[in-house]
């Protein structure tokens, strides 16, 4: 691969080695000029680790244990953020760091997908949003997140109330061992809602929202575990949207499903777009490109690049991203 002396992040630095090449920003094909302007290329860089990135690509920096700055497209900033992640660090067992200085804004009403190879911290980040990681012993965090400008990790936050503002769909469908109806209205039940009219209405709305109503309306009081895999997953989505969440978190919702079922779930995500803000973790790059408006690429606990899906998949700013989405590593 020919060396590109014009590779730039903020400070323009050239790279001489072949290895470093993939870490470099690639030239924007639409951009006529070979010399990319510092900030004009739509790359925002946090000041903290700029030096490391300045010397070589982000993967080298990561290999050295440093945290390179994330390449965040301008297009993200054009939307109103519902969830802001602010210099977020995360440790398991007090010592094993899983997330490094993640800063990203999740735009309102859009589908944002997190991609990256296994173990890159996508799920950890997702589960940090509704503080599900609190359940694990020995977890430590630094930094903060904000949901509609309210701190998530601040002092005196009511985690229970916080979680009620978000819905979550898991990798493996986990319907509760109760009826379909009770599954859907679970969030309302724990809030003490007893009015049957309200429950019925929410149940129907949520099931319609999850495109499950027609299939199960005659057996609402049957055991949820009797549903097929994809129906169970849609039931979980119905359960997650029953309480009108501000953010819907999806942790690889299709990884346990066959392609047809996956297609159904993707259609459903498409329908939910606009109504809900969705943050979805996926292993499947096609899925990310098909379903999401924005995509964030993570690697070894760092956020590498984050931008509009179309941009990220067609003209990524970093070679690492390009190599990952084209399947050359990861």
Binding segment for other proteins (CB under 8 A), chosen from 217-225, 263-271, 295-303, 310-318, is 217-225
Q: Taking CB under 8 A as the rule, does residue 221 contact other proteins? A: yes
For 42: left if phi > 0, alpha if psi spans -120 to 50, otherwise beta; the answer is: left
Binding segment for other proteins (CB under 8 A), chosen from 1-9, 52-60, 187-195, 321-329, is 187-195
We find the least distance from the C-beta atom of residue 162 to other proteins, in angstroms, to be 8
Q: Are 46 and 103 in contact (CB under 8 A)?
A: yes
Beta strands in 135-229 (DSSP E): 140-147, 150-151, 166-169
The string of DSSP codes covering 209-245 is HTT-HHHHGGGTTSBGGGS-HHHHHHHHHHHHHTT--
Q: Taking CB under 8 A as the rule, does residue 252 contact other proteins? A: no
Q: Which is nearer to other proteins, 157 or 223 (CB)?
A: 223
Nearest to 175 by CA among 223, 216, 243, 209: 223
Q: Taking CB under 8 A as the rule, does residue 198 contact other proteins? A: no
Q: Taking CB under 8 A as the rule, does residue 177 contact other proteins? A: yes
We find the least distance from the C-beta atom of residue 275 to other proteins, in angstroms, to be 19
Nearest to 145 by CA among 82, 88, 71, 106: 88
Q: Which of residues 59-98 bind other proteins (CB under 8 A)?
A: none
Q: Taking CB under 8 A as the rule, does residue 123 contact other proteins? A: no
Please provide the size of the chain in residues: 330
3-state SS assignment for residue 196: helix
Q: Taking CB under 8 A as the rule, does residue 233 contact other proteins? A: no
Q: Taking CB under 8 A as the rule, does residue 137 contact other proteins? A: yes
We find the least distance from the C-beta atom of residue 108 to other proteins, in angstroms, to be 21
Contact partners, residue 196, CB within 8 Å, separation at least 6: none
Residues that bind other proteins (CB under 8 A): 130, 132, 135, 137, 160-161, 163-164, 166-168, 170, 172, 174, 176-179, 181-183, 186-187, 189-191, 221, 223, 225, 236, 239-240, 243, 249
């Amino acid at each position: 691969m020919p060396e590109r002396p014009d590779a730039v992040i903020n400070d323009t630095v050239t790279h001489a080695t072949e290895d470093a090449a993939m870490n470099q920003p690639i030239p924007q094909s639409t951009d006529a000029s070979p010399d990319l302007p510092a900030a004009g290329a739509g790359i925002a860089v946090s000041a903290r680790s700029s030096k490391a990135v300045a010397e070589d690509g982000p993967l080298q920096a990561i290999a050295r244990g440093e945290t390179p700055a994330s390449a965040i497209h301008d297009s993200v900033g054009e939307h109103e953020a519902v969830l802001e992640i602010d210099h977020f660090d995360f440790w398991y067992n007090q010592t094993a760091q899983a997330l490094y200085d993640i800063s990203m804004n999740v735009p309102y009403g859009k589908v944002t997908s997190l991609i990256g190879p296994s173990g890159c911290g996508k799920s950890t980040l997702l589960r940090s949003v509704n503080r599900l990681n609190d359940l694990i012993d020995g977890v430590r965090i630094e930094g903060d997140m904000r949901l509609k400008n309210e701190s998530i990790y601040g002092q005196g936050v009511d985690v229970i109330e916080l979680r009620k503002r978000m819905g979550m769909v898991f990798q493996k469908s986990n319907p509760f061992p109760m009826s379909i109806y009770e599954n859907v209205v679970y969030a309302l039940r724990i809030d003490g809602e007893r009015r049957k009219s309200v429950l019925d209405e929410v149940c129907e709305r949520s099931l319609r929202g999850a495109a499950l109503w027609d299939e199960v309306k005659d057996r609402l009081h049957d055991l949820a575990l009797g549903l097929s895999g994809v129906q169970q997953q849609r039931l979980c989505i119905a359960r997650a949207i029953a309480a009108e969440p501000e953010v819907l978190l999806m942790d690889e919702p299709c990884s346990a499903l066959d392609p047809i079922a996956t297609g159904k779930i993707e259609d459903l995500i498409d329908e939910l777009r606009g109504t809900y803000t969705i943050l979805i973790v996926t292993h499947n790059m096609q899925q990310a490109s098909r379903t999401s408006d924005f995509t964030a690429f993570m690697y070894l606990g760092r956020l590498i690049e984050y931008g509009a899906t179309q941009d990220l998949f067609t003209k990524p700013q970093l070679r690492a991203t390009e190599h990952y989405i084209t399947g050359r590593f990861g």
